[in-house]
């Protein structure tokens, strides 16, 4: 029996949304992508935490996706069709 790895559409949509949010944060607050400054606004600190959360979620999704294994559906000629 052969198996194939597959990304479910829901996980792909979630991954896309997280990447979009991450890019939007970096576009809005480019200073969050630079090295930590001793004196930075609280906003930038919060954005850094959000970006870390996005990175962690993306890594978790990638790890989960790598463990998803679904059976390959049978070939059409092997299906028991009533017609």
- Condensed to tens digits (0 to 9), the pLDDT of residues 35-52 reads 887 888 999 999 999 999
- Condensed to tens digits (0 to 9), the pLDDT of residues 4-41 reads 555 577 888 999 999 999 999 999 999 988 888 788 89
Is the pTM above the cut of 0.75? no
Name the strand (E) or helix (H) holding 63: helix 42-67
């Amino acid at each position: 029996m052969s198996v194939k790895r597959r990304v479910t559409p829901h996980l792909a949509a979630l991954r896309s949304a997280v990447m979009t949010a991450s890019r939007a944060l970096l576009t809005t607050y480019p200073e969050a992508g630079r090295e930590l400054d001793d004196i930075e606004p609280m906003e930038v600190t919060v954005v850094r935490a959000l970006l870390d959360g996005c990175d962690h979620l993306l890594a978790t999704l990638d790890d989960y996706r790598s463990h998803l294994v679904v059976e390959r559906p049978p070939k059409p000629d092997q299906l028991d069709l009533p017609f």
